[in-house]
A = this chain, B = another copy of it.
Amino acid sequence: MNESLELAQQALDAANEAKFIANNMWILVATVLVFIMHLGFAALEAGFVQKKNVVNILFKNIMIVCIGLLTYYLIGFNLMYPGTNEGGFFAFSGFGLTLPEGGLTSGYADYTYWTDFIFQAMFAATCCTIVSGAVAERVKLVPFLIFCSLFVTISYPITGFWKWGSGWLDARGFYDFAGSTIVHSVGGWGALAAIILLGPRKGKFSAKGIHPIPGHSMPLATLGVFLLWFGWFGFNGGSVLSADPGLVSKVFVTTSLAAAAGAIGAFILSLIMFKTYDLSMVLNGVLGGLVGITASADGVSVPAAIMIGFIAGVLIPVSVTAFDKMKLDDPVGATSVHLVCGIWGTLAVAIFGDYGDGVGTLMSQLIGIAAIGAFTFTLAFLVFFILKKTVGIRVDIEEETIGLDIREHQLSAYN
């Protein structure tokens, strides 16, 4: 009996190890997928700007990823997941990464400490990339990189802690599965603050009305959207935080169908509104659908996911038009996609989701949206305002006319 008990225990340990290997692997695969979203953003934004500002946007986007990873390593991770002050507003457990006592897997049921960090770090960097598109074609490079560093080091982790780090919003029943609010609308609020302070691109708005400035490469923009969708399988699928077969596969289905429905919604409404088959609306419709389903991809029915995506898609032409009317110039539609659809997705949790007692109620969702929005917008506005009053945030008119590539980088995107 001793022998068989021992063998059984050995078998159970081996089985648990196998589960751990598989679960950990899935989060690592998801990390790789989220990483490539940075290329998706870079391509999308580069495609949607003018030829003369392409090097600049590529430069910004690659620098943001690198800065984001390093600062999240230095400060952000321990600010967002300090492991203390449950239900609180703020905590910080020290600079850099230090293995938890007990080692690499201590306190982690399904993956290692390193896996946790690198998956979260990839998320963090996306936040600034969202801002980068909105401020394109007129922002000064270094002030923007300073803004990003502060945003990803301080702002994003603090509000992230409120929910995902077990802070006060988590205690209040706020629900946001993979970050419609915590990632996307946070990026959107940052973008909104920035474009208010920055002002529109020269020539976009005149007494005669709105003058669209078409992007320089639709293949690049389309490539970006496909890559973002591709990466979103990791963004949402990885947010299950294990390879749980039922949940991850469910998330794949809701995410995909919401994205598809987003395209259809944007297609139909933009056809009605603009009488044309508008590629950029459909592309943003896909992204809107993805942002919309992100808060509830694990907990809504498939028809609900389609509805959420469709409404998000419909919101795209509406909000793009609305921002234009407010003379808020956003070259890539980042505020429409990430802020508007991010808010919509967070509300959709309350409408379509079913997360149990007091979780994801309309009230808890509204509190979460408002609190994170107010904090993020205020902080971003303040930082950008100080930068504006000190080093300046906008290139001069001559540089804007010539293009940022030649002046800041002494290089054309195409030769």
Contact check, A97 vs B302: say whether CB atoms are below 8 A apart. yes
Tell which of A31-39, A182-190, A391-399 binds the partner.
A31-39
Contact check, A42 vs B243: say whether CB atoms are below 8 A apart. no
Name which residue of chain B comes closest to A115, CB basis: B249
In which size bucket is the chain A interface?
35 or more
In the complex, A366 has a CB within 8 A of chain B: no
Within A280-331, the residues touching B (CB, 8 Å) are 280, 282-283, 286, 302-303, 306
Query: How far apart sit A338 and B233, CA to CA, in the bound complex (Å)?
Result: 28
Contact check, A286 vs B62: say whether CB atoms are below 8 A apart. yes
Contact check, B279 vs A219: say whether CB atoms are below 8 A apart. no
Name which residue of chain B comes closest to A263, CB basis: B66
Contact check, A114 vs B252: say whether CB atoms are below 8 A apart. yes
Copies in the complex: 3
In the complex, A14 has a CB within 8 A of chain B: yes
Contact check, B111 vs A69: say whether CB atoms are below 8 A apart. no
Top 6 nearest A-B pairs (CB, nearest first) are A14-B15, A114-B249, A18-B18, A39-B226, A11-B11, A66-B260
Give me 24 A-to-B residue pairs in the complex whose CB atoms sit less than 8 angstroms apart, sorted by A's number: A4-B8, A15-B18, A19-B21, A20-B245, A24-B248, A28-B237, A36-B230, A39-B226, A46-B222, A58-B222, A58-B279, A65-B260, A66-B260, A67-B260, A70-B260, A73-B257, A105-B246, A111-B245, A112-B250, A214-B415, A216-B414, A217-B413, A217-B415, A276-B410
Q: Which residues of the other chain, B, contact A104 by a CB distance below 8 angstroms?
A: 245-246, 249
Residues of A within 8 A of B (CB): 1, 3-5, 7-12, 14-26, 28-29, 31-33, 35-36, 38-39, 42-43, 46, 50-51, 54-55, 58-59, 62-63, 65-67, 69-70, 73, 96-97, 104-105, 111-115, 117-118, 121, 141, 214-220, 222-223, 225-227, 229-230, 233-234, 237, 243-246, 248-250, 252-253, 256-257, 259-261, 263-264, 267, 276-280, 282-283, 286, 302-303, 306, 408-415
Q: Which residues of the other chain, B, contact A278 by a CB distance below 8 angstroms?
A: 409, 411
Q: Which residues of the other chain, B, contact A219 by a CB distance below 8 angstroms?
A: 43, 46, 54, 58, 217, 220, 413
| Cβ-defined partner of A9 (8 Å) among B7, B112, B267 | B7
Q: Which residues of the other chain, B, contact A227 by a CB distance below 8 angstroms?
A: 36, 39
With A8-B8, A21-B22 known, 18 other A-B pairs at CB within 8 A are A4-B5, A4-B8, A15-B15, A18-B18, A18-B19, A28-B249, A42-B223, A55-B279, A58-B219, A62-B282, A66-B259, A66-B261, A66-B263, A66-B264, A111-B249, A113-B249, A216-B415, A278-B411
